[in-house]
Amino acid sequence: MCIFCKIISGDIPSKKVYEDEDVLAILDISQATLGHTLVLPKKHYDNLLTIDNGVYLKVMEKAKMLAEKIVPNLGAKGANILNNCNEVAGQSVMHFHVHILPRYDKEELKIEFKDHSKDYNLDDILNKIKQ
């Protein structure tokens, strides 16, 4: 049983931000930024590639609803809403979840996108995706 499943079952305590029959949202124990919240389905799915579409939509609907409260209530200037899919992408708990990361300052958290346009042929990539 994964750590999120243990939190959902009540075996591990958490700070619940929101709960309904399908979705649980908790404060992340690491608090990468003030108010860092995790939104997860109560049913276990490993990641974005395996989650049921209906459950995914419920999780994302609640993530949006919570972000709409978290940002103004905590005085944030914005938020990153993100999901890491598989270990190579930074997923450390193999239970689908969405991070709500309130942002107060551009420098508090680094999520960087580097320009690799000279390294890749976009036509080749497009053809592979469409196969």
Q: Is the pLDDT of residue 21 over 90?
A: yes
> Could you tell me which residues are beta bridge partners of residue 52?
none
Ramachandran bin of 31, using left for φ above 0, alpha for ψ from -120 to 50, beta for the remaining angles: left
pLDDT digits (tens, 9 = 90+) for 33-86: 999 999 999 999 999 999 999 999 999 999 999 999 999 999 999 999 999 999
**b/e for 12-49, b at 16 or more Cβ within 10 A?**
eebeebeeeeebbbbebeeeebebbbbbbbbebbebbe
pLDDT of residue 54: 98
3-state secondary structure at position 23: strand
- Under a CB-based contact definition with an 8 Å cutoff, are residues 99 and 80 in contact? yes
pLDDT digits (tens, 9 = 90+) for 85-123: 999 999 999 999 999 999 999 888 888 888 988 999 999
Active site residues: 97
* pTM check: above 0.75: yes
